[in-house]
Structure 1
Amino acid sequence: MVPPVAIDIDGTMTTPDGGIDPQLFQALQDWPEPVVVATGKAFPYPVALCEFLGLPTRVVAENGGVACTEDSLAILGNGEAARNAVSEFESEGHDIQRGENDLHNRWRETEVSVATSVAFSTLSEFAEKHGQTVVDTGYSYHVKSPELSKADGLAYVAEELGRKPDDFVAVGDSENDTEMFRACKHSFAVSNADAAAEAAADEVTDASFAAGTTEALETLR
């Protein structure tokens, strides 16, 4: 019997160019157990992904800050401290380099996304002053609470589905997946994963990006 799965987006469902890889569409649509999309992206992005793929809305967003199923929604984090840290960072003459429209943060509720071109150590100093941490996903720096992770969001979704986190198998590529890996009964890091994800995973796929996720799903069937 195949398990329910929790799958990251960036670097895990995507091609090296950043788009969602169509090779995953049918596999996810046909998966007989729950599929949870678990990402650092702001809440609307994974919800839209589920809708366009025809999947039930089972989402962990903002690194565990927001979680939902078809029938429930929980804001598990509070973004005030992260926003205060970034506001002070900017008031000291620094720029988070997200542009005027800032679509990365416009709908973000529990953390702040900062471009990876910003000095990590400087940003971390401001975050720590406000009790926050900075997580580098390889795509963004996330200023967030150190007390929340994707594992917390998955715990919420799993309970809503009548499951437990350790019923799930996780697939991811970054340090923000490590807590989720440890919470699940088994985990795969795709071969493009960072060192933290590789160290935390039970297995590392031979293939990278979405091809690695396809490999993991085929292993589970």
Structure 2
Amino acid sequence: MMKFKALAIDIDGTITYSDRRLHFLAAEHLRNLGIPVVLATGNVLCYAAATSKLIGLGGKVISENGGVISTGFDTNPHISESMEECEKAFSYLSNRFDLIRLDGDLRKTEIALRRNVNADDLQASLEGAGFYIEVIDTQFALHIKSKKVNKGTGLEKMASLMDLDVSDFIAIGDSVNDREMFEVAGYGIAVDNADPGLKLIADHVTSMSFGEGTVEALQILCRRDFF
């Protein structure tokens, strides 16, 4: 059986409880895994880096849904050139919907919104106006982002920077924004609280939810000698 060399894992809803508190046992398992662990999130770089530091990992993070990639705490991040088109889309939508922007100037490649509007309505409006932009709902925020940038492209970039093949990674996640990461990784595990569409493409779905699901997944992987 193929041995995997690294793990890419979502944060919110995957290594947390439902209220976003960090699941300490999941963090301990990640810290002691013995292979590189990449945190992959729709959140901003400082949040992802702080989470990596607090868990005791090495600072390898994919943030902003693949838009910002960092290989360590003291390295310069790789930032995609996608903010200008997102700003144009946000400006267009702001004239038609009551949007509440999150994270201020922290985001460099996409725009996050409060979930007070429907993502499908925003998407339909943008498509009607010819924007090549997508709006995704991660259940924690809405994201106005480039269709060219996602956790899958982010993982491909991270793999290249680590001198690995993207198929060397196992991916664990719970949300629609984890789909592309699952599609390029060598093996994908969805925790039980995951989006139904993500479960359909996962290689394995845990019986437990949130951080407990990740603990279950890591125990299974170690027991089956995946690493």
TM-score w.r.t. the length of structure 1 is: 0.91
Number of aligned positions between the proteins: 216
Of 76, 84, 94, the residue aligned with 1:80 is 84
SS at match of 1:210: helix
Shift, 1:2, TM fit: 5.9
> Which residue in 2 is equivalent to 1:175?
176
Q: Secondary structure, in 3 states, of the residue corresponding to 1:67? A: strand
Q: Percent identity?
A: 36
The Cα shift of 1:72 comes to 5.1
Secondary structure of the 2:16 match is coil
* Per-residue CA distance 1:6-33 (angstroms, 9 max, x = gap): 0001110110111111112221111111
Equivalent residue, structure 1, for 2:7: 5
Q: Output the amino acid matched with 1:54.
A: G
Aligned to 2:225: none
State the partner residue of 1:91: 95
CA contact (8 A) 1:67 1:153 kept: yes
Show the 5 A alignment for 1:182-197. Answer: 182-197=183-198
Partner of 1:46: 48
1:116-150 CA distance string (max 9 Å, x none): 22132332134333320111212221111111110
2:132 counterpart SS class: coil
Q: Could you tell me whether the CA contact under 8 Å between 1:111 and 1:142 is conserved in 2?
A: yes
Q: 8 Å contact 2:112–2:143 — kept in the other structure?
A: yes
Q: In 1, are the aligned partners of 2:40 and 2:65 still within 8 Å (CA)? A: yes
* CA–CA separation in structure 2 for the residues paired with 1:65 and 1:97: 21
Q: CA RMSD in A?
A: 1.6
* AA of the residue aligned to 1:108: R
**Partner amino acid for 1:57?**
G
- Deviation beyond 6 Å, 4+ runs, structure 1: none
Give the letter for the 1:80 counterpart.
E
* Contact 2:15 2:27 (C-alpha < 8 Å) held by counterparts: no
Contact 2:67 2:154 in 1 (8 A): yes
1:34 alignment partner in structure 2: 36
The answer as to whether partners of 2:120 and 2:135 remain within 8 angstroms in 1 is no
TM-score (structure 2 length as normaliser): 0.89
> Are 2:114 and 1:115 equivalent residues in the alignment?
yes
Cα distance in structure 1, aligned partners of 2:106 and 2:185: 28
Equivalent residue, structure 2, for 1:124: 123
Residue 153 of structure 2 aligns to a residue whose secondary structure is helix
8 A contact 2:151–2:181 mirrored in 1: yes
